[in-house]
Chain A
Amino acid sequence: MSGQGVAAFLDVAGVSKAFGAHAALDDCTLAVRQGEIVTLLGASGCGKTTLLRIIAGFVAPDSGTVRLGGQDALAMPVNRRPIGVVFQSYALFPHMTVARNVGYGLRVRGVPREEQRRRLAEALELVSLTAFADRYPAQLSGGQQQRVALARALVLAPQLLLLDEPFSALDAKLRAAMQSEVRRLIKSVGITAVFVTHDQDEAMGISDAIAVMRGGRIEQAGPPAEVYDRPASAFVADFVGAANHWPDEARGGRVTLPAGLSVPSRVIGRVSVMVRPHNLEPCPVGAEGAAWRGRVAFVRPSGPFLEIEVLVEGAPLPFRVTVPRAGAVPAPGEAVALRVRDLSACFVFPRLDQAAA
């Protein structure tokens, strides 16, 4: 994302697009710096794919501007934009070999034969598919197909790379491997990239910055840690990582939690106090400073952590608590109290119906 004084390389300003009565994008603004990997994160229908398709030129916006490297991208025809796209389906040409797929853009653009050969070889080398040059896409695994799609886009040395849910067709294990592989590749080439995904783990793992989208707008944009630690809205807090909701009332700029704990609030009236699972700590009932009491619903190991679900008295939904897998493990049915580790890492938002959903 663009900081103060740094000109954005990709500059999307005030872009709107409606399909019939449905507003897919509503005055959407996004700035991406050169060399940055930005992820558009949101649920299906939030407009993230439409925004990607507008940048690529497959869809024309109703209003707004898209500038790339200072130039008006919307003025360039779709087949003249210096933008590479990796499609969700990869869209490899099934009747062409890997080499012909990757070389297609070079042939279409009339690159001299000798240079075609050299760049094709480089691109195949980059994605370690030299040995597969004569295979057809149907003869490749999902991960290999994805690398062909990546090579096909990168061989033209575009200024911007767009990737539409590129990992959604891969199984979970391969997905994690390909995410770091693709990030490494993009960084090694140094290209500016925009990902689209609905998967917050993927967004966290691959991006320099995340833009959380909702209802055709960007709700918050910033580095992953910032979006996670300082969510701008209840929606973002909920969408990026898990959050527990405590309904309460804010008075005089503060919310007073049980046990007399006080959290500052910028809003007044009905609020929802949101606490991340790792910011909660189980402790014996009656322990000092414990804000909530409840009963353990179940305990689930999750890697080096334990996820504990606690039915908290007075909360509409069970709380999720994440603790390191060490020490005493509470048993299901056991009464526990919950203590907030860091009060400054609690967020207070106006209470919305969907914030509790």
Chain B
Amino acid sequence: MKRGARTSIGDRIGVGLVLALGVLGLAVLVVPSLIVLAVSFDTRAFVSFPPQGFTLRWYAALADNAQLVRAIVNSLWSGLVVMVLCILLGVPAALASGRGRFRWRGAVPVIVLLPHAVPGVVLGVAVLFAGSAVGLRPSLALQSFAVTAFILAVLVRTVLARLERLDPALEEAAANLGAGRARAFRDITLPLLLPAILAGAAFTFIEGFDNISIAIFTHGMRNPPLPVELLGIVQTETTPLVAAISGVQILLSTLLVAIVAATIGLRHVSD
């Protein structure tokens, strides 16, 4: 619709509604993070909004708290392991499902969703019991494996969705021009799947970092991840320290998304 063009009242109301819903949606998504950020700079020693003054003391307190820093490092490790495992397992699974010739290839995206069929807490307890049955004690490794099983579906489905929209003729064209299967995958399929792999990987990293329902049962006793540590803190601590921790996490997430956006944005990918 061109600016200045005649519009009916109905159109205007429609556009207004869409705009209002958009603003509302954005607000729901962004405002809580902004409030938390604002509170994290509050000079007062309790959580209140609107904040007063500006200080970095809660961030300093966080840096001084060895237990919390360790928890953040644990969570970073968990995020990294979950992400790498999801890429290593999920990309081949998506390729098998999308390009394979076997009979049950359509079952792959359903099978990876199965862990989502049970509540996360139940899954956590189940992994705890199953792990101890085979001699796996709660640990950062067990926690990472369990979260991987849970979140693998996101990567598989993201990559598969992209794969299904890729013209199969692209790979045939590469073969026709002389490329073997490996070469065609490297030159054509992989670069075109990369945005989906990166987007999926970002999600799995965040889940590995932030998951609590599974992690609370499966983490190593001396290696609690950040969400588990935080749960303990918010029960006793009322200072903006918790907000500062959230501030760090918001910063990390934003950074991650920015990296993905920049990487994808630099590619001339047409759909």
Is B47 positioned at the interface, with any CB of A under 8 Å from its CB? no
Is A104 positioned at the interface, with any CB of B under 8 Å from its CB? yes
Cβ contact within 8 Å between A156 and B167: no
1/0 per position for B168-193, CB-CB distance to A under 8 A?
01101111111110010001100110
Which one of B179, B191, B270 lies within 8 Å of A108 (CB-CB)?
B179
**What residues of chain B lie closer than 8 Å to A81, measured between beta carbons?**
176
- Interface residue count on the A side (C-beta < 8 Å): 28
Q: How far is the CA of A58 from the CA of B180 in the complex (A)?
A: 13
Which one of A56, A88, A94 lies within 8 Å of B176 (CB-CB)?
A56
Q: How far is the CA of A338 from the CA of B47 in the complex (A)?
A: 96
Q: How far is the CA of A267 from the CA of B192 in the complex (A)?
A: 59
**What residues of chain A lie closer than 8 Å to B191, measured between beta carbons?**
95
**What residues of chain B lie closer than 8 Å to A105, measured between beta carbons?**
177-178
**What residues of chain A lie closer than 8 Å to B180, measured between beta carbons?**
79
Contacts A94-B270, A95-B191, A108-B183: A83 and B176 contacting too (C-beta < 8 A)?
A: yes
Smallest beta-carbon distance A92→chain B, Å: 8
**What residues of chain A lie closer than 8 Å to B187, measured between beta carbons?**
93, 104, 108
**What residues of chain B lie closer than 8 Å to A84, measured between beta carbons?**
176
Contacts A87-B169, A88-B169: A138 and B175 contacting too (C-beta < 8 A)?
A: no
Q: How far is the CA of A147 from the CA of B176 in the complex (A)?
A: 17
Q: How far is the CA of A152 from the CA of B183 in the complex (A)?
A: 17
Cβ contact within 8 Å between A91 and B268: no
**What residues of chain A lie closer than 8 Å to B270, measured between beta carbons?**
94, 136-138
In chain B, what residue has the closest Cβ to A137? Answer: B270
**What residues of chain B lie closer than 8 Å to A109, measured between beta carbons?**
178
Contacts A87-B173, A104-B187, A108-B183: A95 and B269 contacting too (C-beta < 8 A)?
A: yes
Q: How far is the CA of A85 from the CA of B183 in the complex (A)?
A: 18
Q: How large is the interface on B (under 10, 10 to 19, 20 to 34, 35 or more residues)?
A: 20 to 34
Cβ contact within 8 Å between A152 and B177: yes
Q: How far is the CA of A105 from the CA of B188 in the complex (A)?
A: 13
Is B267 positioned at the interface, with any CB of A under 8 Å from its CB? yes
Is A44 positioned at the interface, with any CB of B under 8 Å from its CB? no
Cβ contact within 8 Å between B269 and A89: no
Smallest beta-carbon distance B38→chain A, Å: 42
Contacts A94-B192, A108-B183: A78 and B176 contacting too (C-beta < 8 A)?
A: yes
Q: How far is the CA of A108 from the CA of B185 in the complex (A)?
A: 13
**What residues of chain A lie closer than 8 Å to B174, measured between beta carbons?**
93, 104, 108
Cβ contact within 8 Å between A87 and B172: yes
Q: How far is the CA of A94 from the CA of B169 in the complex (A)?
A: 12
Which one of B175, B183, B268 lies within 8 Å of A94 (CB-CB)?
B268
Smallest beta-carbon distance B35→chain A, Å: 41
Q: How far is the CA of A105 from the CA of B176 in the complex (A)?
A: 8
Q: How far is the CA of A311 from the CA of B169 in the complex (A)?
A: 47
**What residues of chain A lie closer than 8 Å to B268, measured between beta carbons?**
94-95, 136, 138
**What residues of chain B lie closer than 8 Å to A78, measured between beta carbons?**
175-176
Which one of B169, B176, B192 lies within 8 Å of A95 (CB-CB)?
B192
1/0 per position for A72-112, CB-CB distance to B under 8 A?
00000011110111011101111100000000110011000
Contacts A88-B169, A136-B268: A93 and B188 contacting too (C-beta < 8 A)?
A: yes
**What residues of chain A lie closer than 8 Å to B172, measured between beta carbons?**
56, 58, 85, 87, 91
Give residues 125-153 of A contacting B (CB, 8 Å): 136-138, 152-153
**What residues of chain B lie closer than 8 Å to A83, measured between beta carbons?**
176
Cβ contact within 8 Å between B175 and A79: yes
Q: Can you list 10 A-B contacts with CB-CB less than 8 angstroms, sorted by A residue number?
A: A57-B176, A79-B175, A85-B176, A87-B172, A94-B270, A95-B268, A104-B174, A104-B177, A104-B179, A156-B177
- A residues apposed to B, CB below 8 Å: 56-58, 78-81, 83-85, 87-89, 91-95, 104-105, 108-109, 136-138, 152-153, 156
- B residues apposed to A, CB below 8 Å: 167, 169-170, 172-180, 183, 187-188, 191-192, 267-270
